[in-house]
Amino acid sequence: MLVGMASKRALLELLSRDELLAAVDLFGVEVPDRRAKDGIVDALVASRKVSLAQVLADFPRDRLKDLCRSLGLDDAGREKTGLIDRLTGASTTVAAGNGSGAAAAQPGANGKQAAAASPTGKLTREQLEGYLWSAADILRGSIDSSDYKNYILGLLFLKRLSDRFGEECDTLVDAGDDPEDKDNHQFFVPRRARWSEIQKAASNIGEVLNKACAALEDGNPALDGVLAGIDYNDEQKLGDTKNRDNVLSRLVQHFSGCNLRNANLSEPDMLGRAYEYLIEKFADDAGKKGGEFYTPKKVGEFYTPKKVVELIVEILAPKEGMRICDPTCGSGGMLIECARHLERHGQNPKNLSLFGQEKNLGTWAICQMNMLLHGITSHIFKGDTIRDPKLVDGGELRLYDRVIANPPFSLDDWGREVAEHDPWGRFRFGIPPKTKGDLAFVQHMIATLNLHGQLGVVMPHGVLFRGAAEGEIRQGILKEDLVEAVIGLPPNLFYGTGIPAAILVMNREKKRERKAKVLFIEASREFREGSAQNYLRDEDVKKIAATFHAWKDVPKYARVVDLAEIEKNDFNLNISRYVETAEAAEKVDVAAAIAKLREAEKKRAEAEAKMNGFLKELGYDA
């Protein structure tokens, strides 16, 4: 059974209103009335963002079994993954071609052959996303949730390279060329790394996967280090040999049912989008859980909410031919969005030079895989941006047209000892406090702007008003007229932290009318409220970006402020000092109010006299 529009509705109609509202909040679906179940179902059915597999992921097993029975599906088995697959049709796949190693489509629960994944027989993005997210169910209870992403993202990448290699081999054979010639492939997949070989392993599967990853890296310099950080034979994370073989064999079998050849994908950038989806879901999951991996700082380094990224890119408006850098690039979402911005505006994203640096080696590897699955050429380096900047050229820092980043908020031990003797001259405005590295990253970004460069960076509100060393740094940056805009964001946008944040926009080449001025935008009150996290909406992103580009005052929302006024406020950039948001007190016409009072008193006196007359007639002399 494949869940199309009709069966999607049938499944949703079985859910309670509370279960439906949880899905509405999860995917940010607008509904006309949260009290009307029919309207909620209609909105969820119509939305392309909704993944049924994700809706069902947190349901108890008994609830999933109940839904299966209600839809006439087999409810056998203890694994939630299998139950969700039956309900969503994720177990239905198009048979893979030669060399892919994917299994043929399996019969549905009713014993009939499964339907095609879409009217064209190709895999849709929603199906792929549900399929990938359901892989996490295989790992739940077997390993720590903080390690899910490494194994699932790594296997997805491995399977994609193998399937694409098999597809290239078929084309080469048809053309009479040698399929084993490395020069004929974008990425050459050695035999031991091909999925058909991995599938054959019945024991020591972790070792087989590790050797497959090593062979891929050895045969492709561009993949050096990308897969090495994932240890499929890690006893501490995956347990003893028996447990490892059990979990990994189920994962390999699960991925074997998904054909990732280009010919089977309904959208050209589907793999990259699905990869981003997984990264977002892992970050979302991370923000809801405890444990060292899920501290706000670490989640923030790993992923920035999509709408915040879109907003900064819309403000910076990158163009063809530009060099763009993210010095704390995480999983690469900001750089990918820059390329996507060009596509939306009819420009060629391949005519961009994208650079990045990432300190965390695991996150660096995810970024590399993310870029490759999107088909984006980039230069992402490993290392600590403050202590050891890698983006250098001829002994000088490399300069860029746009610099974009979301550094870790108020990072402790950020590298002050290096900044005090910085050979790159990045900290000319001053050395930030040892326990707050925010303005260290800002100064690094300023130092890497070319003469026409512009930057956008997410910062905690503290950098707008904190004094001492940070106050002196802020004063120096403002006196050099680099600050173009300060944008206040809604609370609780970022995973795992409610710290208020702002976007700082700086520009080395301000337009004439913007010189010696700063635009303040108070956008903290407009957002969609979620149960655990708030979200920027499309209309919020458009309004903020349009306000920035229009560069005009908007009552109670935005104001262009002269630097002279900011200097009078001791270079404090607290937005509330410049944008008045309080409602004006209602003006009272005192004379008219007194006249109304006297009229009321007169009527009261007349009524009292009339009442006393009635009482006197009744014998009650007042």
Q: Kindly report, residue by residue over 366-417, the tens digit of the pLDDT.
A: 899 889 888 888 999 999 999 999 999 988 999 999 999 999 888 888 999 9
With b meaning 16 or more CB within 10 Å and e meaning fewer, what string describes 130-154?
A: bbbbbbbbbbeebbebbbbbbbbbb
The percent of the chain in helix, strand and coil, each rounded to the nearest 5, is: 50, 10, 40
Please state, in angstroms and rounded to a whole number, the distance separating the CA atoms of residues 87 and 71: 8
Whether 113 shows a pLDDT value over 50: the answer reads no
Whole-number pLDDT of residue 66: 83
Residue 298 pLDDT > 60, yes or no?
no
Rounded mean pLDDT, 4-15: 71
Task: Decide if pLDDT at 185 tops 80.
Answer: yes
Asked whether the beta carbons of 402 and 341 are under 8 A apart, the reply is no
pLDDT score of 583: 63
Residue 111 binned pLDDT confidence (cut-offs 50, 70, 90): very low
pLDDT tens by residue, 436-445: 999 999 999 9
- Tokens (6 digits) for 593: 């109010």
> SS3 for 571?
coil
Between these two residues, 294 and 412, which has the higher pLDDT value? 412
pTM: 0.72
Average pLDDT over residues 191-213: 94
Predicted local distance difference test score (pLDDT) of residue 115: 30
pLDDT of 190 reads 96
Partners of 265 in the β-ladder: 123
Q: Backbone phi, then psi, for 165, in 5-degree steps?
A: -60, -45
Task: Name the pLDDT band for 621 (thresholds 50, 70, 90).
Answer: low
Task: Tell me: pLDDT of 110 over 60.
Answer: no
